[in-house]
A and B are shown apart, each in its own frame.
Chain A
Amino acid sequence: MTTTTEGPYAVEAHELVKTYPKGVRALTGLSLRVQPGEIFGLLGPNGAGKTTAVKILTTLAHPDSGTATVAGQDALRHPGRVRRLIGTVSQRSSADPVATGRDNLVLQGRLYGLRGAELRQRVTELLDRFDLTDAAGRRTRSYSGGMQRRLEVALGLVHRPQVLFLDEPTTGLDPEARAAMWDEIARLAGEEGLTILLTTHYLEEADRLADRLAIVDKGRVVAAGTPDQLKGELHGDAVHIELRTTLDETAAGTARSALGRLPGVREVTLDGLRLSARADDGAAVVPGALAELTAAGVSVATVTAARPSLDDVYLRYAGRRFAEADADSDSTTQTPTGGAR
């Protein structure tokens, strides 16, 4: 992990603000720093501003204010320089549907100035690497979702960029294709030393892939760090105890203090039938908790102890559960044209 090396950063955004027409504030002061060679995840629910941030960093959109540096170049003042150094994979399949996979790659290479044998070799290499050789001569219209996604990544890599931007690289893929894409992304950063900034609204994806990540909510970063750091900041595992019967006030007090007496247990809360707490070592607390509660006359249905998840992290920083935020914005901020591109 590359957490200690200090800049020059591969990507650095400072206080980006972006307002769309009709006053939609997509970014409200987003800052992030990506180290060279790492996979950096931008995690957030629908409408959080991930695509908007990527659009600015890839020179497509201009922020109202803020600064953006990519691969050492000022993305706002010298977009032309940045464009040669980055690869972009958008949220959807942007390949020409009536051209073949190979033709799409060849055109992409030509537009980056590749010619002749070098171009042919690079295209063959990418087709092979993304398992598209057999389908290379087919129109991309007939490609499966997974194949289209792979072609899209290949398109972004033709010119061997320094920084690759992946906007929701696995959205809409089946679990198998998703796992394959994860392997490929990990390999790109590992073997080729590519810096990757990816956006996702899958907690699991961010957890598995990202060396470091930033949680985005309502247009700004609410927390950043390695997945372990972020979870570690929650201080301990989550212990959840499901009760058989609701407790009256005195019984509730007894139960809470019974649990709180155990070593290393904090933040005991009771919500209906659910008694929750944090513990330094969740698993070690379980037997003691059961014994204490039984002794206090509280009957217990289930006990679970779990390491904190990114969902817990999200809850802590954004003040709501991730799934809720995702569902919320699904129903309220989706524009008819799909808004985000």
Chain B
Amino acid sequence: MTALAVDTWWLTGRRLKALVTQPIFVIVMLIQPVIWLFLFGSLFRRVVELPGFGTASYLDYLVPGVVVMNALAVNMWAGIGTLEEIERGTLNRFLTMPVSRSAIMNANVVEQLVGTTFQSAVIVLLGGLAGATYPGGPAGVVLLMLAAVLLGTVFGALSNTIGMLVRQRESIIGINTFLLLPLTFLSTVFMARELMPGWMQGIAAFNPLDWAVQAGRSALSADPDWGLVASRTGWLLALAVLSVVLSTRTFRAYQKAV
């Protein structure tokens, strides 16, 4: 157990150091959500005049959506990093060392957790600077981040699984490009549920991205629906555990077939 914790610490440190020593990379990653925030914020500013948004400011409505969408958009690329480590032989080098196997996987998850939390905080801050208000207070922000991190874990782990299985950048790029927009627009990231066609509402009910938005947005609102927050967060947690188990299994299979 201690070896696991120590190895996880150093291996995670390596990844975080790569982020810290390349601030450009972190900034570039943030450009996209900032653009969504301000572009969609201006474009759809007046839709809140329609019923169903439960807020007078579209920006208030949008911030949780962008936080969650960012968590998805960033973490779904995790598999490319894993693929590169496999191709380069870095992963195999670690495997010939007395390093805890679980620590190698943990480092992925912890890096994702730290990165998503940081980016989510920045988006919340920028939103606040642009005039968004968060009636749910700090507790609401924390719950939003939790939802984002869980969603990030789900897609980070799935992306890693695909990376280890197919070993092709093109497949990951293809799957991600195919998934990002449908997942976003078949959810309440930009649009209130009541304004969506019935069939879309049906699909959104099964969309993990939508679970995360619902949980985060409700927690941030003046009058959170705690039952909703708890259930959606619980579903995300269950899915995150499943995804991590799947990626760990795949990693074991990888080790058997190096």
CA distance A146 to B93 in the complex (A): 19
Contact A98 B98 (CB under 8 A): no
B99→A21 contact, CB < 8 A:
no
- Main SS of the interface on chain A? loop
Inter-subunit contact A337/B96 (CB<8 Å) = no
- Residues of chain B lying within 8 A (CB to CB) of residue A92: 88-89
A4 vs B157: C-alpha distance when bound (angstroms): 54
- Decide if B257 touches A60 in the complex (CB within 8 Å): no
The answer to whether the Cβ of B55 comes within 8 Å of any Cβ in the partner chain is no
Note all chain A residues with C-beta closer than 8 A to B93.
Answer: 88, 90, 94, 155
The answer to whether A170 has its CB under 8 Å from any CB of chain B is no
- Say yes or no: A55-B258 contact (C-beta < 8 A), given A83-B98, A107-B10: yes
Contact call B18/A99, Cβ cutoff below 8 A: yes
In the complex, whether B44 has a CB less than 8 A from a CB of chain A is: no
Cβ-closest chain A residue relative to B168: A337
Asked if residues A62 and B95 are in contact (CB atoms below 8 Å), the reply is no
Whole-angstrom distance from the CB of A98 to the nearest CB of chain B? 5
Establish whether residues B10 and A90, one from each chain, have CB atoms under 8 Å apart when the complex forms: no
**Residues B258 and A111 in contact, CB atoms below 8 Å apart:** no
Q: Does B97 contact A (CB under 8 A)?
A: yes
Contacts of A88 in B (CB 8 A): 93, 96
CA distance A91 to B10 in the complex (A): 25
Within 8 A of B (CB), among A54-77: 55, 58-62
Q: Within residues 78 to 96 of chain B, which ones have a CB less than 8 A from any CB in chain A?
A: 88-90, 92-96
Q: Interface 1/0s, chain A 85-117, versus B by CB < 8 A?
A: 010101111111111000100011011100000
Contact present for A110 and B10 (CB under 8 Å) = yes
Contact A107 B14 (CB under 8 A): yes
A341 within 8 A of B: yes
The docked-state distance in angstroms from the alpha carbon of A189 to that of B18 is 35
A160 within 8 A of B: no
Residues B17 and A60 in contact, CB atoms below 8 Å apart: no
**Residues 5-31 (chain A) with a chain B CB within 8 angstroms:** 21
A274 is an interface residue with CB less than 8 A from chain B? no
Per-residue 0/1 for B3-26: is the Cβ within 8 Å of any A Cβ (1 yes, 0 no)? 000010011011001100110000
Residues of B within 8 A of A60 (CB): 92, 95-96, 258
> Do the beta carbons of A96 and B18 come within 8 Å of each other?
yes
Contact across chains for B22 and A98 when beta carbons are under 8 A apart: yes
Kindly list chain B residues whose C-beta atoms are within 8 Å of the C-beta of A96. Answer: 14, 18, 90
Known: A99-B14, A110-B10. A337 touches B167 (CB 8 A): yes
How distant is B11 from chain A, measured CB to nearest CB, in Å? 8
A-contacting residues of B (Cβ < 8 Å)? 7, 10-11, 13-14, 17-18, 21-22, 88-90, 92-99, 167, 256-258
Identify the A interface with B (CB < 8 A). Answer: 21, 55, 58-62, 80, 83-84, 86, 88, 90-99, 103, 107-108, 110-112, 155, 337, 341
Top-9 shortest CB links A-B: A94-B89, A83-B98, A94-B93, A88-B96, A58-B96, A90-B89, A94-B90, A98-B18, A110-B10
9 pairs, CB–CB < 8 Å, chain A vs chain B: A60-B258, A83-B96, A88-B93, A96-B90, A111-B10, A111-B94, A111-B97, A112-B98, A337-B167
